[in-house]
Every structure is written in structure tokens, then in C-alpha cells.
Amino acid sequence: MEFQTVVFYLFGAIAVAAALGVILVRNPVHAALCLVLVFFSSAAIWLLLEAEFLAITLVLVYVGAVMVLFLFVVMMLDINVDRLREGFWSNLPLGLLVAALLVVEMLLVLTGDFFRQASSPPSLPVDASNTESIGRVLYTVYAYPFELAAMILLVAMVAAVSLTLRKRKDVRYLDPAEQVKVKAADRLRVISMPAEKE
């Protein structure tokens, strides 16, 4: 076996094992961490396919952003594992049916000749960089849709802020600027009163 094939099977096996871990481990936080491992192994497989841009993006976006957010959600929600597993046996037949259908569909697609390529694409020269090629196209030919996507992100930000930001008036909070500016006269009233004798 070639070295590349060995590496592929290694990462493939890790990905499959981690994917099983996602659904089998009891603790939701561990399941989320297993999913991170799946993403890392898939990124490694992408690197083997000379798609380094996709590999970097997968790690940055999914591991760096999506999964961290997901972990926060998992940690903040108090998930009761036993209640999640309650209906396991009653839902099993339906689940098996769906799984069987999925397997059949995948077999049909993968064994049919829809996805079969006449010849495998030639491997790229050593100094080729698809990050650079994507960047070149993205900022030239696809500059217009790229800018539109940026405007859509702006829509999302404006919408999210305008729908969720509230200035609550019933919260007592301290304004440090006001605190610093305070003078003795604001707090302490010196009054003159005649001395009293007992």
C-alpha cells in the first residue's frame, strides 16, 4: 500500500469511530467533542485530496465557530440524558426503516453511473494552490455576488440587533463615568447646627 492510502484509511477510521462516538457516548459534551474530531479527520482527508482551502475552512468555520457555539449551548442547556433515551425502543422500528432507506438510496446513487467520472482528474502541480485560485476568482469574476453576500450579512446584523436589543429600564446598574465624577458635595451635606449641651 502506498503511504497516501495508509493515511487515508487511518483518518477514515478515526472519522468513522468518532462519528459512532457522537451518537453512542452518554455525555452530550463528549458527543460534541467527538463531532469536532470528525471534522478534523474529514479536514485531513480533504488535505489528501489537495483541497487545502476546504480543509482550512472546515476547521475554521465548523470547529472554530459552529462547534464552539454548539458546545456553549450544550453546556448551558441542562439536558436530561435519561429523558432523551426514553422512547428508544418504541422509535427503533421507524429509525431502522429510515436508516435502511438511506442506505438503499446511497447505494443506488453511488453504484449508478451518475457520479462516475470518465477518468480521475490529473493531480495538480506541486506549487498549485487552490486557495490562491479561489481567491483570484472570488475577488474578480465573482466580486459582484461576493459583495451581495456581504450586504446580506449586513441585513442579518441589522435585523438581529433591531429585533433583540432592548434597553431595559428596570435594571439597576452603575455608570462608572458618573461614579468617577462624583464630588463630596453630592454625597455629603454639611450642615451647621448649634452645639447642643446635654
Partner 1 sequence: MEFERPDFSLAAAEIFVAVMTLVVMVAGTFLRRISRELGYALAQLTVIGAAFITVFSVDDPTVRYTFGTMYVSDWLGQVLKLFIYLSVFASLLYGRLYLIERRLEKAEYYVLMLLSMLGAMILVSANNLLVLYLGLEMMTLALYALVAFDRDNGLRSEAAIKYFVLGAISSGLLLYGMSMIYGATGSLDLGVVGQAVSLGAGDELVFKFGLAFLVAGIAFKFGVVPFHMWVADVYHGAPTPVTLLISSAPKLAAFALALRLLVGGFFGLAETWQPMLMLLAVASIVLGNLAAIAQSNIKRMLAYSGISHMGFVLLGLLAGVTDGGHQQVFNAYSSALFYAVSYALMSLASFGMVLLLARTGFEAEHIDDFKGLNRRSPWFAAMMMLVMFSMAGIPFFLGFFAKFAVLEAVVSAGHTWLAVLAVIMSVIGAYYYLRVVKVMYFDEPTDRTALIASSETRVLLSANALTLAVAGLMPQGLMAVCGYAILTSF
User: Where do contacts with partner 1 occur on this chain (CB under 8 A)?
Assistant: 137, 140-145, 148-149, 151-152, 154-156, 158-159, 161-163
C-beta of 144: minimal distance to partner 1 in Å? 4
* Residue with smaller CB distance to partner 1, 5 or 131: 131
Q: For 72-86, b where at least 16 C-beta lie within 10 A, e where not — what string? A: eebeeeeeeeeeeee
* Residue with smaller CB distance to partner 1, 73 or 148: 148
* Residue with smaller CB distance to partner 1, 27 or 133: 133
C-beta of 125: minimal distance to partner 1 in Å? 19
| Euclidean distance between CA atoms 101 and 96, whole angstroms | 9
C-beta of 51: minimal distance to partner 1 in Å? 19
Dihedral sign computed on CA atoms, order 20, 21, 23, 24: positive
C-beta of 135: minimal distance to partner 1 in Å? 13
Cell representation of residue 39: 471534522
Question: Taking a C-beta distance cutoff of 8 angstroms, is the pair 74, 41 a contact?
Answer: no
**Total residues belonging to the chain:** 198
* Residue with smaller CB distance to partner 1, 95 or 145: 145
C-beta of 154: minimal distance to partner 1 in Å? 7
- 7 by Cβ neighbours in 10 Å (0-12 / 13-18 / 19+) ranks as middle
User: What's the DSSP call for residue 128?
Assistant: -
* Residue with smaller CB distance to partner 1, 131 or 133: 133
193: left (phi over 0), alpha (psi -120 to 50) or beta: beta
C-beta of 185: minimal distance to partner 1 in Å? 29
* Residue with smaller CB distance to partner 1, 98 or 156: 156
